[in-house]
Structure 1
Amino acid sequence: MPELPEVEALATDLRARLVGRTMRRVDVPSISALKTFDPSVDALRGTTVTAAGRRGKHLVLTVDSGLHLVIHLAHSGWVRWREASPRPTAGRGRGPLAARVVLEAPAGDGERGDGERGGDELGGDGFDLTEQATQKRLALHVVRHPEQVMSIATLGPEPLDAAFTEERFAAILAHAGRAQIKGVLRDQQRIAGIGNAYSDEILHAARMSPFHPASMPAADVQRLYAALRQVLGEAVERALSVSAASLKAEKRQGMRVHGRKGEACPVCGDTVRQVIYAESTFEYCATCQTGGKPLADRVLSRLGVRR
C-alpha cells in the first residue's frame, strides 16, 4: 500500500505536472471507485488545477471552481502518467483501469481554442488510476471540501508536521493505553499516513516489539518518536529523489525488515521473521526487538486498525 512517503512523492510529481492545466474530462470505468454523486464527476470538466497535495494516504487535487478530487489508492492502486492520447477503455469494470484524467494541451501546443485536438476526441495527456487487485478498494471523491470525505475528517495529525511534537505523540500513546503499538502506529485516526510497512521499519529502528503496549515510559516514547521522525523523514527524501515510476522499487529497496522474511537483519545479522495475521503480515528482528523471543502469529489478530 502506498504510505505517507510515496503519496507525498506522488503529490509532488502531480503538482509539477498538473497545476495550471485544464481537465478535459474525468472518466471512471470502475464505477464502484466513485464514492460521491453530488457534485458530479462531470463538474470537473473544463476546470483548471490549482493545487495538488496530500492528507494522510490521500491525494487531494484542487481546481479553480473550488471543488476537490480526493483519491485514496488503497492497497494496490497507483497513479500512471500518460504522455499520449489514451486508447478507448474496454468497458466499465474491465481490467485494472479505475479512472482516467484527460487534460487539455497547454497553451501554444497547437490545439484549437475550443479544446479539440486535431479532431481527436480521445484527448491528450493526463494520468490513469489503476488497481491491480481482485478486491477493488481504490476510492474517488468529488467534494466541495476535503473534510467531507470521512476518512480525511477523522484523520489524526501528520507525523512530520512541526506541530507533531514528542509531547503530542506521548499523549496519543497514553490515550491508547494497553493497545499494541503496531496497531496504534497504523491507526489513521491516531496518526495519519503510516501503514504496515513503515510501522515495521519504525519499530525496528526503535528496537521495540510490535506487541509493546502503547503506554510506555518516557525514555521509550523518546526513542520511538525519534525513530518515527527519522524513518519517515528519510523515506520522504528518498521518494522525492526518484521518478514516480520508480517509487515502488525504491520503497522495497529502502526497507530493512519489512518484506525481508528470511534475510539477515542489517543491524545484528539475525534472520528476519514474519508474523501472518488476517490479510496482512509484518516482519521484525527478534534479536533487535524482542530479546530473541519469536512472536506468535495469533496475537496480531486482535490489533484494531482503521484504514
Structure 2
Amino acid sequence: MPELPDLTVYIEAMRERILGAILTQVRMHSLFVLRSVEPRIEELEGRSVVGIERIGKRLVIEFDDEYFVVIHLMVAGRLHWREPDKAKPHRHRLANFVFSSAESRTLGVLCLDEAGKKKRASIHVVAGRADLAQHGRDGIEVLACDIDDFVTRMQRDVHTLKRALTDPSILSGIGNAYSDEILWEARLSPFRRTDKLDAAEWQRLFDACREVLTTWSARLVAECGGAWPKKVTAFRPEMAVHGKHREPCPRCGDEVQRIVHADNEANYCARCQTGGKLLADRALSQLLRGDWPRSLDELDAMRERHRGLTDS
C-alpha cells in the first residue's frame, strides 16, 4: 500500500499538472470504486482544482466551493497520467478524470487503475471540510508534531512498536515498508512494547521516523524529476531491510531476518535491533517447535548441521 513518501510523489505530480485545471469529464469504469452517493460525482464537472493534499493514506483533490475527491489506493491501486488517446479503459481501469485548461485545451487524463482480482481501491465525493475530516483516522502527522505528542500518542495503548507505527489511528501515513526502515534506523525491535522504552529510545524512534520519511520523500520526488511516477512500490533496492530477507544488513553485514504473519512480511536485523535474538516467525516456529533457533548463533549452528548432512 502506498505510504507517505509514495503519496508525496503523487501529490507533487498532480500539483504540476492539474492545480488550477478544470475537470471537464469524469467516468467510472467499475461498479464498485465509487463508494459515495451524495454529492453526485457529475457535480464536479466544470469545477476547478484548487488544492491537492493527503489525509493519512488517502489522496484528496479539492475543487472550488469545498468539493473534494478522496482516493484510497489501498494495496494495488495506482494513478497514471495519460494523453486522451491513450486513456482508453481496460480491465484494470477503475476511473478516468479528464482535465482541461481555462482555454478548453485538454491537458490530460488522470487514470485510476487497480491490478488483481481484489478491487479494494475507492473513491468518495465529499462536500465541506467537516465531512472530509471523517475520512481521516485521527493519526497524528509525525512530520508536524513534537516528540511529546509523538510519545503520548504511541503510548495511548500498549502495542508492539511495529503495530503502533502502522496503526492509522496513532500515526498517519506509515505502513509495513517504512515502519521496517524506521525501526532499523532506530535500532529497535519490532516486538518492543510501547510501555518499555526509555527517553533515549523514544528520541531515537522519533528522529528515525522523521529522517526516514523526509529522506525517502525527497529521494522519490528527485527520482521522478518532474515526470509522472511510474513505479510506485513498497520494495526498493535502496531500502535497508524491507523486502531484503537473507540479504546482508547494510550496517553490520548479518542476514536480514523476517517475520511472516498472514499476507504481511516484516523485516529486521537481529544483530542491530534485537541483540542477536531471532523473533518467532509463527508458521516456521510452529513447524520446527523445539528446533526453532532462538539466536543468530543457534541459526548458524543449525545451518552447519544441515550442511554436514547434505555433504555426507
Q: Same fold (TM over 0.5)?
A: yes
Distance 1:251 1:13 in 2: 21
Distance 1:147 1:259 in 2: 39
Distance 1:172 1:125 in 2: 42
Query: Of 134, 137, 154, which residue of structure 2 is paired with 1:154?
Result: 137
Q: Which residue of 1 aligns with 2:276?
A: 292
CA contact (8 A) 1:47 1:64 kept: yes
> How far did residue 209 of structure 1 move?
0.6
Local SS of the residue matching 2:38: coil
**Deviations 1:203-241 (Å, cap 9, x if unpaired)?**
000111110001221111011111111111101111221
Distance 2:258 2:170 in 1: 25
TM-score, structure 2 length as denominator? 0.84
CA contact (8 A) 2:177 2:234 kept: no
Shift of the 131–283 alpha-carbon distance from structure 1 to 2, 3 Å rule, reads same
> How far did residue 298 of structure 1 move?
2.7
> How far did residue 126 of structure 1 move?
1.5
CA contact (8 A) 1:258 1:283 kept: yes
> How far did residue 88 of structure 1 move?
4.4
1:144 correspondence with 2:140: no
Q: Which residue of 2 aligns with 1:134?
A: 117
Distance 1:2 1:146 in 2: 24
Shift of the 30–149 alpha-carbon distance from structure 1 to 2, 3 Å rule, reads farther
**Deviations 1:16-74 (Å, cap 9, x if unpaired)?**
10011111111111121111010011111111111111122111101113210011110
Distance 2:54 2:170 in 1: 17
Q: Which residue of 2 aligns with 1:27?
A: 27
Distance 1:297 1:207 in 2: 20
CA contact (8 A) 1:256 1:265 kept: yes
CA contact (8 A) 1:60 1:146 kept: no
> How far did residue 81 of structure 1 move?
0.5
Shift of the 135–151 alpha-carbon distance from structure 1 to 2, 3 Å rule, reads farther
Q: Which residue of 2 aligns with 1:227?
A: 208
Runs of 4+ in 1 over 4 A off after TM superposition: none
Q: Which residue of 2 aligns with 1:238?
A: 219
Question: How many residues in Structure 1 have an aligned counterpart in Structure 2?
Answer: 279
Q: Which residue of 1 aligns with 2:257?
A: 273
Distance 1:169 1:87 in 2: 43
Q: Which residue of 2 aligns with 1:212?
A: 192
CA contact (8 A) 1:235 1:254 kept: no
1:101 correspondence with 2:97: yes
Q: Which residue of 2 aligns with 1:120?
A: none
- Range moving further from structure 2, 193-202 or 236-245: 236-245
Residue identity in the other structure for 2:212: V
Provide the aligned C-alpha RMSD in A.
Answer: 2.0
Q: How does 1:72-83 map to 2 (within 5 A)?
A: 72-83=72-83
Residue identity in the other structure for 1:2: P
Q: Which residue of 1 aligns with 2:246?
A: 262
Q: Which residue of 2 aligns with 1:46?
A: 46
Distance 2:135 2:216 in 1: 22
Residue identity in the other structure for 2:116: A
CA contact (8 A) 1:85 1:124 kept: no
Local SS of the residue matching 1:222: helix
Query: Of 249, 252, 258, which residue of structure 1 is paired with 2:236?
Result: 252
Q: Which residue of 2 aligns with 1:186?
A: 166
Q: Which residue of 2 aligns with 1:116?
A: none
> How far did residue 106 of structure 1 move?
5.3
Local SS of the residue matching 1:171: helix
> Tell me, which stretches of 5 or more residues in structure 1 are unaligned?
110-122, 300-307
**Deviations 1:144-177 (Å, cap 9, x if unpaired)?**
135535763323111111xx11111111222222
Q: How does 1:58-77 map to 2 (within 5 A)?
A: 58-77=58-77
> How far did residue 98 of structure 1 move?
1.2
**Deviations 1:238-268 (Å, cap 9, x if unpaired)?**
1221223245369613311001112111000
